Amino acid sequence: MNHSNHRDDAGVPESSPSSPAARNAGPGRLLVAVYAIFALAASARAAFQILTKFDHAPVAYLLSAFAAVVYVVATVGLGRSGSTAYKVSVAAVGVEMFGVLAVGIFGLIDPAALPDDTVWSGFGSGYGYVPLVLPMIGLWWLYRHRADARR
């Protein structure tokens, strides 16, 4: 059997861009790697903040911890194949997009409410605005591979 022409149960060639493996292969691997880096960075930042100065800005540090969890979930979802992983990815990246926008806007409206920065403060300005751009790219990538949701 020639594997390059092999079709999955839905009749889609395995090498097609909409197959589950395509979502986390090629450029998808780079996306997973960037999410993994942010998961690690946000986790380390949140752990340090919570362990060393939690009393100073508990809301900001808990938001950093929440962002870390979102990045970890997004990394795992993006790195796996299948419809459940796809749905988890969409949910996590959607929450990330909402979080970056909400925390960014909240910080503009009431800067004193978050006396210390989070990963999402200033729309991710402390991280070169990557936290703002990353979910846009992630949602676009997931949209391109939306056929995964039907598997």
Quickly list DSSP for the chain: --GGG-B-TTS-BTTSTTSHHHHTSTHHHHHHHHHHHHHHHHHHHHHHHHHHHTTT-HHHHHHHHHHHHHHHHHHHHHHS-SHHHHHHHHHHHHHHHHHHHHHHHHHHH-GGGSSS--TTGGGTGGGTTHHHHHHHHHHHHHHHTGGGGG-
Handedness of CA 18, 100, 126, 89 (dihedral sign): negative
Q: What's the rounded mean pLDDT across residues 19-42?
A: 86
Mean pLDDT of the region 43-50 = 94
pLDDT digits (tens, 9 = 90+) for 8-17: 444 444 444 4
Confidence of residue 113 (pLDDT cuts 50, 70, 90): confident
Of 120, 139, 121, 26, give the one whose Cα is nearest residue 77.
139
Higher pLDDT, 2 or 52: 52
Tell me the residue type at 100: V
Residue 151, pLDDT score:
62
- Check pLDDT > 70 for residue 74: yes
Residue 112 pLDDT: 86
Q: Give me the pLDDT at residue 91, please.
A: 98
Are 88 and 76 in contact by the 8 Å Cβ rule? The answer is yes
Residue 137: pLDDT over 60: yes
Q: What is the pLDDT of residue 45?
A: 92
CA distance 57 to 66: 14
Better-predicted residue by pLDDT, 122 or 149: 122
Closest by CA to 89, choosing from 131, 13, 37, 28, is 28
pLDDT tier at 115, thresholds 50, 70, 90: confident
Predicted pLDDT at 150: 72
